[in-house]
Structure 1
Amino acid sequence: MDVKWIEFFTELGVTTAGQILVFIAIGFFGKKLFEFFFNASIEIKKAELNTELENFKQNLSSEAQNHKLELDKNLESHKSLLSQASQENQIRFSKLHSDRAEIVKNLYSKLVTMEKSMNSFMAPFQAAGDIPLEEKRRIAANDGNDFSDYFDSNEIFFNENTCSIINSINENFEKAFNEFTAISPGQPNAQNEILRMHKSMNAYYDILNKKVVELKSKLKADFRDTLGVK
């Protein structure tokens, strides 16, 4: 044994070999006992930490599941609101399309009526026994005003291109009507009669049966596109 250890035991009052052995045994077993309790304490702490970790994982998983359920619930709620909004928009669009289709039908019907009365009034050859020309003039004027007023009241339903075509039709009908009625056929002046005939022919053939027909064809194509008719 090292001299220093002997001196150490002597200072502690341990002088005999038996006492030294006992002291060494106590120290050895005390160390082992300390290590045992220290290791046991570590294992207990590890077990506690593992338990806390598992509890934390379970709580975290539970919270995540709750959040997922809440998100799913909110998502379904938003889907329902979006679906409802989509249905409402679809209903409004369907109603708007239905109203627009009705207006298109009525406006085109008034256009055809105006075209017929204008043609009847401006025809170069009037059938025998037909209603008086002045009555035809009155009917044509009323039909023209009816068409124009109906369009003015519902112009909001049509796009700019459609409005441009309809305005051109209106302008040409008015021009034809005004040129045809500008000079009364009863005037005795031969030059005026020739001028009247020229204007009436221009009104009937060039405007009413050419320009208006072309514009009417464009309007039909535009209306069919609006209504989705191929």
Structure 2
Amino acid sequence: MSSDICNFILLGAISAATNALLLVVLGFLFRSLILHLLSKNIESYKAILEKELESFKIKLQHDKDREIEMLRKDLEMKALEHEIRFSKLHDRRAVIIAEFYAKFIEAYYSAGEFLNSIGYEGQPSKEKLGEKTYKQIREMDRYFNLNRLYFDEALCGKIGDVIEGIFDPTIKFILALQEEKETGGEHRAINEWIISLKAYQEKVPEIKRLIEDEFRKILGVKSS
């Protein structure tokens, strides 16, 4: 009886130990299975994330390239617009320079003819030459003032000097001739003519040369 009880207890203990061991093994296997499944899920999720990251990088690069291209086109368009405006401005300045220079040369030579003591056969009277020169100077001066924004301040100063250099001796000689005609003051007219001619010859040619040099620079023409 005692032996049977001992055997029963032993069998129970063995059974309990076996069940416990089985539970441990099953727990280990279940844990391994869970870890395996989790590992597979993590690898799968990692692959998905890497794929999404690569897609994002590609999209980001595409967006960056597109924005750079748009910026490049915008800059090219602005550069072209600036070039067109600058080209039109340069063309406009070239026209103004040509027209002003033509008026300037006409006034310059008319004043020279008016102030010169050496005449020629068929030459208009001094009064006629004076009127012609005065009119041309006024036209030149008006044209310059209407378009002076196309020239820098330094060039405007030189042009103003040359207009003054032509106008002052011309108008003084005109007034002296008028006084001579009205009062017979021939002596004053001769003196004024000498002073005016000297001022014209000394001042105007040098300023004329400086202005011509400036015009050539603006137009891109090399000086000799």
TM-score (norm 1): 0.86
Q: Give the Cα separation in 2 of the matches to 1:132 and 1:182.
A: 15
Q: Shift of the alpha carbon at 1:60?
A: 2.0
Identify the range of structure 1 (74-83 vs 94-103) with the bigger mean alpha-carbon deviation. 74-83
Gap regions ≥5 residues in structure 1: 1-9
Aligned to 2:73: 80
Gap regions ≥5 residues in structure 2: none
- Write the letter of the residue equivalent to 1:108: Y
Aligned to 1:56: 49
Q: Give the Cα separation in 1 of the matches to 2:93 and 2:130.
A: 31
Q: 2:137 matched to 1:165?
A: no
Q: Shift of the alpha carbon at 1:14?
A: 9.1
Q: Give the Cα separation in 2 of the matches to 1:14 and 1:65.
A: 75
Q: Give the Cα separation in 2 of the matches to 1:180 and 1:103.
A: 30
- Write the letter of the residue equivalent to 1:143: Q
Q: 2:147 matched to 1:154?
A: yes
Aligned to 1:137: 130
- Write the letter of the residue equivalent to 1:170: I
Q: Shift of the alpha carbon at 1:188?
A: 6.7
Q: Give the Cα separation in 2 of the matches to 1:204 and 1:158.
A: 29
Q: 2:114 matched to 1:111?
A: no
Q: 2:26 matched to 1:33?
A: yes
Q: Would the aligned equivalents of 1:14 and 1:20 in 2 still touch at CA under 8 Å?
A: no
Equivalent pairs, count:
216
Aligned to 1:213: 205
Segments of 4+ in structure 1 off by > 6 A? none
Q: Would the aligned equivalents of 1:180 and 1:199 in 2 still touch at CA under 8 Å?
A: yes
- Write the letter of the residue equivalent to 1:217: R
Identify the range of structure 1 (124-133 vs 55-64) with the bigger mean alpha-carbon deviation. 124-133
TM-score (norm 2): 0.88
C-alpha distance 214-79 of structure 1, shift in aligned 2 (>3 A): same
Q: Would the aligned equivalents of 2:127 and 2:174 in 1 still touch at CA under 8 Å?
A: no
Q: Give the Cα separation in 2 of the matches to 1:199 and 1:134.
A: 15
Q: Would the aligned equivalents of 2:165 and 2:203 in 1 still touch at CA under 8 Å?
A: yes
Q: Would the aligned equivalents of 1:187 and 1:193 in 2 still touch at CA under 8 Å?
A: no
C-alpha distance 137-14 of structure 1, shift in aligned 2 (>3 A): farther
Q: Would the aligned equivalents of 2:155 and 2:211 in 1 still touch at CA under 8 Å?
A: yes
Q: Shift of the alpha carbon at 1:187?
A: 6.4
Identify the range of structure 1 (162-171 vs 178-187) with the bigger mean alpha-carbon deviation. 178-187
Give 2:193's match in structure 1, choosing from 200, 207, 210: 200
Q: Give the Cα separation in 2 of the matches to 1:44 and 1:85.
A: 60
Aligned to 1:227: 219
The DSSP-based 3-state class of the residue aligned with 1:16 is helix
